[in-house]
Structure 1
Amino acid sequence: MIARNFEVQKGTEATISKLPFSNEEYERRLEALRREMRTAGVDVFISFGPENIFYLTGHDTPAYQYVQACVVTMDATPINVIRHIDASNTLYNSWSKLAVGYQDEDEPISAIFALVQQVAKPDATIGLEDEAFFVSPKRYAMLTGLLQGAGYKTTATNPVGTLRLTKSAEEISCIRRAARISEKAMAAAIGAAGEGVNENFIAAEVWRVLVGNGGEFPGLPPFVTSGPRMCLAHATWSGRQLQAGDSLGFEIPGVVNRYVAPIYRCGTIGKPNAGFEKLAEACITSLEVLTASIKPGAVAADIHQVHVDNFSRYKLIVDHRTGYSVGVNYAPDWGEGNELSITRTERRELKPGMVFHLVPGVFIDDRTHITISETVLVTETGCEVITQYPRPLFIV
């Protein structure tokens, strides 16, 4: 099945741009992963997700629709298996600088299999990441079959996703910088809004400020809704012209070194009606009780219940998660909710260094929607709100 010899290439020149994290930070991550591998009895770990490959090696490109993998052993620098033309991002601009490139006519799984044969004996146990979006079941099964056929033992695992949940000081610094960009972009969105203004103009102002202040591309676009479109979840700008009496919703993701700090605010053109004000009050008070309850050792399901109890005071029902982990982000998501979300069934405890986007919100049938959100950090003693922007409904 292997079309040719797949050789490991090494980048020997200085990186084209400064790496987002220190050498010590990458070493810390790699050693933490190896501890997990030793505990699980895994000799070689293969990661497929762009978030995890970036986390481990600094390889960064949006062209991850092509199969890519990071092969980690116990005693060598991680090696990325990447489409040939995108391997440049590892060779010239990553921490690891080791890559196996495959051509477009090659089967990518053949390249991964060939690399495993170079770095591991046939009786080794190979851990295969089982939570990645961009490896099809067909190819996952193909790799498993090749490895087992060659005498390797395989096991499905997801250690990097778990490690990413607790952020280091360097990662938290990126999230703080991203929050400052989110706040500036929110101010721009609100400043651009008004009767007669097109949603597209608001979105353009958001993008201008996000990028102009050093922001990178987010895993999801900013969300801009108004008037009757407020009943739509995760809706982008539509060209609609804002009218007097409209409600407005803006959710904005500042990103620094691939780390995101989202923020959601709502408002109105002219004075809001009493019903909309009451919905805003419910969201704001939920944020208050949530941030007061978040601390190390708190169980995610119990935090969710705090939000449920607060909403019940307003005769409202919580019908989605209270929040989700955020950190490294690539499309199709800016969150890490697939790794940890605050829901009624999640029994894991919160730890210092975890970062969440809290999203208390409510949809009222097909009429409207409101969410007021914050990005928050679990500290050693409680909760720090990282995003700083006034919570009350804005009026334009």
Structure 2
Amino acid sequence: MPALYFHELEYQTRLAATKQAMLKSDFDTIILSDPANIFYLTGFDAWAFYAPLFLVVSCELNQPLWIGRFMDAVSAHDTTYLSEENIRTYPDNFVQSSTLHPVEPTALILKERGLDKGVIGVEMGAYYYTARIHAEFLANLPNARFSDAELLVNRVRLIKSPTEQHYLREAGRIADAAMAAAVDKCAPGVRECDVVAEIYSKQIGGTSEFGGVYTTSPPHFCAAERVRTPHGLWTDQPLKNNSALNIEIAGARLHYHCPISRTVYLGHPPDSYLRLADAVVEGLNTTMESIRPGMMAEEVELTWRKTIAKHGFEKEARLGYSIGVGFPPTWGERTASLRPGDKTVLKAGMAFHCMSGLWLENTGIVITQSFLVTENGNEPLTQFERKLSVKN
């Protein structure tokens, strides 16, 4: 029996919602290549997306059709609820070939099922849907009309089920443990890479009750002069006294991600930096107190913007984004963002990372909060104290 992370009924509910979205957009069929969406609709869990991997959803089929490299069919049997007839493969000579392409056998499979006609939606902006793949589909399925189905399933994913919320809470506990280990390890003279090693240990080891999995991206570890950068990486250099460092990581439980960011100051921070920290913490706390269902995403950002403006600061980048299932290269769902112009209405079951960080010309600070929208407000997914961590 497959090792499903959810009851089969939940996968069927997700599939029904996807088909409903397809009907509204006049799609007969969609071909998915985003591993997060493939995982969401089937449970498929293996590192197979480096080669073309497709999930075909048709309004005419009771189950999706999984199409991938022949050796990865074993994982499809082990991790999904799909029947034998809906797990299809292409031979190994199509993998990383200069003359053959996996879309060729994929197109033949679609023709067998009568899915080579009508309007076919594809994820034009998905990270694993390449220009070559699209060109091959156009050439091999001339009777179909292709249209962009970008983010169709991502939007279905916005509201999390009770089980998904449970996994996000567990991811939050892993994130807390990893951040606590990192802050505890930080000290002048300790190599940056040794702190990150502690992070990785906790991310994978998880808690005594449950373990973690790999996250979509490495820890962002920005020390010394790199503190002004948002997505820098660690080095093997020792940490310096009287300097700040920013850490952004996530806990991942069964691919459900809960991000967290914190700033550590080694030594005695100057008053100017303490004022910066106070402004960010006040902005974050005020924003979190305001969040409730029925708000628009842009209203959340406006609360933050008004609060930090009182201290003379402004943030150009978005304040946050929706989170949930994540596969490389991002744990963001690429749908709702907390920024001006985003009129997404917050609903119970949505999850976000409130990315309340500021990167200035010569310094930076990150103190953030992931949360679930609830029926009456919001629930923080991490419990790590929202403050500047000072280690004298």
TM-score normalised over the length of structure 2: 0.92
Partner of residue 265, structure 1? 262
Structure 1 position 121, deviation (Å) = 5.7
Worse-superposed segment, 131-140 or 88-97: 88-97
Structure 1 position 274, deviation (Å) = 1.1
SS at match of 2:146: strand
Structure 1 position 201, deviation (Å) = 0.9
Q: Give the Cα separation in 2 of the matches to 1:356 and 1:256.
A: 16
> Is 1:244 aligned to 2:241, yes or no?
yes
Q: Which runs of 5+ in 1 are unaligned?
A: 1-13
Q: Give the Cα separation in 1 of the matches to 2:201 and 2:114.
A: 49
- Equivalent residues in 2 for 1:265-344 (5 A)? 265-336=262-333, 338-344=334-340
Worse-superposed segment, 244-253 or 163-172: 244-253
CA contact (8 A) 1:221 1:253 kept: no
CA contact (8 A) 1:323 1:357 kept: yes
Partner of residue 98, structure 2? none
Partner of residue 361, structure 1? 357
Q: Give the Cα separation in 1 of the matches to 2:145 and 2:258.
A: 40
CA contact (8 A) 1:182 1:262 kept: yes
Worse-superposed segment, 248-257 or 93-102: 93-102
Structure 1 position 123, deviation (Å) = 4.5
SS at match of 1:72: strand
The number of equivalent residue pairs is 377
Worse-superposed segment, 127-136 or 385-394: 127-136
Instruction: For residues 201-260 of structure 1, give each alpha carbon's deviation from its aligned partner in whole angstroms, at most 9, with x where no partner exists.
Output: 111111111111211000011122222221222122201211221212222211001000
> Is 1:94 aligned to 2:100, yes or no?
no
SS at match of 1:297: coil
Partner of residue 182, structure 2? 189
Instruction: For residues 148-202 of structure 1, give each alpha carbon's deviation from its aligned partner in whole angstroms, at most 9, with x where no partner exists.
Output: x2x3333321320110111111111110000001101111111111121111111
Partner of residue 37, structure 1? 22
The structure-2 alpha-carbon separation of the partners of 1:212 and 1:277, relative to structure 1 and needing over 3 Å to count, comes to same
Amino acid at match of 2:130: S
CA contact (8 A) 1:254 1:261 kept: yes
CA contact (8 A) 2:263 2:389 kept: yes
- Equivalent residues in 2 for 1:175-214 (5 A)? 175-213=168-206, 214=211
Aligned alpha-carbon RMSD (Å): 1.6
Query: Percent identity over the alignment?
Result: 30
Q: Give the Cα separation in 1 of the matches to 2:105 and 2:349.
A: 37
Amino acid at match of 1:156: D
Partner of residue 230, structure 1? 227
The structure-2 alpha-carbon separation of the partners of 1:163 and 1:243, relative to structure 1 and needing over 3 Å to count, comes to same
Amino acid at match of 1:109: V
> Is 1:76 aligned to 2:72, yes or no?
no
Structure 1 position 322, deviation (Å) = 0.4
Q: Which runs of 5+ in 2 are unaligned?
A: 95-100
SS at match of 2:233: coil
Partner of residue 366, structure 2? 371
Partner of residue 167, structure 1? 160
Structure 1 position 357, deviation (Å) = 0.4
The structure-2 alpha-carbon separation of the partners of 1:361 and 1:123, relative to structure 1 and needing over 3 Å to count, comes to closer
SS at match of 1:344: coil
CA contact (8 A) 1:289 1:307 kept: yes
Instruction: For residues 21-44 of structure 1, give each alpha carbon's deviation from its aligned partner in whole angstroms, at most 9, with x where no partner exists.
Output: 111211110111111122223222
Q: Give the Cα separation in 2 of the matches to 1:171 and 1:144.
A: 36
Partner of residue 389, structure 1? 384
Runs of 4+, deviation exceeding 6 Å = none
Structure 1 position 263, deviation (Å) = 0.6
Amino acid at match of 2:22: M
Amino acid at match of 1:55: Y
Worse-superposed segment, 121-130 or 367-376: 121-130
Amino acid at match of 1:46: I
Partner of residue 109, structure 1? 103
SS at match of 1:387: coil
Q: Give the Cα separation in 2 of the matches to 1:193 and 1:176.
A: 26
Structure 1 position 270, deviation (Å) = 2.0
Amino acid at match of 1:52: N
- Equivalent residues in 2 for 1:32-71 (5 A)? 32-71=17-56
TM-score normalised over the length of structure 1: 0.91
Q: Give the Cα separation in 2 of the matches to 1:31 and 1:176.
A: 26
Amino acid at match of 2:26: G
CA contact (8 A) 2:90 2:106 kept: no
Amino acid at match of 2:89: G
CA contact (8 A) 2:246 2:263 kept: yes
Worse-superposed segment, 23-32 or 177-186: 23-32
Worse-superposed segment, 187-196 or 68-77: 68-77
